[in-house]
Amino acid sequence: MSTSNTITFILFIATTLLASCNAAENAASQPLFPAILIFGDSTVDTGNNNYPINTFFRATHLPYGIDLPNHEANGRFSNGKLIPDILAAKYNIKQLVPPFLQPNLSDQENRRTNDFILNYYTIPSRRLQYHHVSSYQDFILKRLDNLIGELYSLGCRNIVIGGLPPIGCLPIQMTAKFRNIFRFCLEQENKDSVVYNQKLQKQIPQMQASLTGSKILYSDIYNPIYDMMQNPGKYGIDTTFLVSQGLRRQKRGCCGTGFLETSFMCNVLSQTCDNHSEFLFFDSIHPSEATYNYIGDLLDTQIREWIAA
């Protein structure tokens, strides 16, 4: 595979990186890029977690995948397509991006996963090593810098990096604060996301300057998702007030109660919402296909303008 013509996305819940190279020429029927490379966590995992035998964090059961063309779960942590699938289809590469660990996969796709939430906020394994979130952010940014350097050495020249979403607005994070009965976003975690994004944006010009011939674009994930949380009516998200619980539906997932269910807790026995497209989140962590479609459209516009510049 010629990496000089490849587009690579790196999507962490902590950071999203898309490393792209030269676009294919003209013709709408031709792929805009010959391949798509995705790096990130479970929000962009198209099925890698199906293969490690020592993990229980899987999405190989309904209701995951219920809105995919075949209505079957295949490892995607949502009701339908993820951002990699949406962008790959827009670029005429393929409709569904296969996981890198899929047996007999060609060398035209690649993925890697990482997770900021579980490692620092929810299951604080990294917090024992990094006592302040600022130092953990610097650790992540250093690893990101190294990864970009590796991709550059393999021939990638155009790179898009997306920042953190408002982590404090994820349903599971709001649930983690047991006294948060009104389901407010956790402002400190959101501030941490903002600070990280500011650091990332400051670091990008330095990265680009050190990699001759590279182009690196920052993509804002935080503000679109936060706006969807604060103004759901603009996006068709159900804002029906649930009197019995005092909640709004953009503050919980579609699966089960929407407060905690994810992976094995969101299963075939879980009751789901009637209209999946009216919910910002499908489970307590992962967005719905409707949300991914909106973010995918924004990213597509940014990428096309950036490549054409």
CA distance 160 to 140: 16
Q: Take residue 120 and report the two structure tokens written for it.
A: 């620092």
Compute how many other C-beta atoms are within 10 angstroms of the C-beta atom of residue 172.
Answer: 21
29 in catalytic set: no
Give 58's contacts (C-beta < 8 A, 6+ positions apart).
49, 50, 75, 263, 264
Active-site choice (45, 115, 238, 283): 283
Exposure of 138 by Cβ count < 10 A (0-12 exposed, 13-18 middle, 19+ buried)?
A: middle
Helical (H) or strand (E) element with 160: strand 158-162
Considering only CA atoms, which of 30, 91, 17 is closest in space to residue 304?
Answer: 91
Where on the phi/psi map is residue 95: left (φ > 0), alpha (ψ -120 to 50), or beta? alpha
Active-site choice (115, 192, 286, 288): 286
42 in catalytic set: yes
Q: How far from chain centre, in Å, is Cα 201?
A: 18
* Contact between 148 and 215 (Cβ < 8 Å): no
Considering only CA atoms, which of 190, 214, 195 is closest in space to residue 204?
Answer: 214
Active-site choice (20, 42, 193, 219): 42
145 in catalytic set: no
Catalytic residues: 42, 283, 286
